[in-house]
Amino acid sequence: MSDKNFRVTFTRGTNSSVITTSVRASSASQAKEKIKERERGQAKIISAVET
């Protein structure tokens, strides 16, 4: 299964600012998990959209 590009939008911790980043993953749920790992569980995912 090949990786796809996803645009993930999230907030970090108690900060209300919205962050958007691109990540390569095989599915939207894997893209979300990658962001959560990178942010050490502090990310609250808003959306993950394939681009």
Position with higher pLDDT, 15 vs 6 = 6
Q: Give the residue among 24, 13, 16 at the shortest CA–CA distance from 48.
A: 24
pLDDT at residue 1 greater than cutoff 70: no
Q: What's the pTM value of the predicted model, to 2 decimals?
A: 0.85
Using CA atoms in the order 34, 35, 40, 42, what is the torsion angle rounded to 10 degrees?
-150
Structure confidence at residue 6 as a pLDDT band (50, 70, 90): very high
State how far the Cα of 25 lies from the Cα of 28, in Å rounded to an integer. Answer: 7
State how far the Cα of 23 lies from the Cα of 12, in Å rounded to an integer. Answer: 16
7-51 residue pLDDT tens: 999 999 888 899 999 999 999 999 999 999 999 989 999 999 999
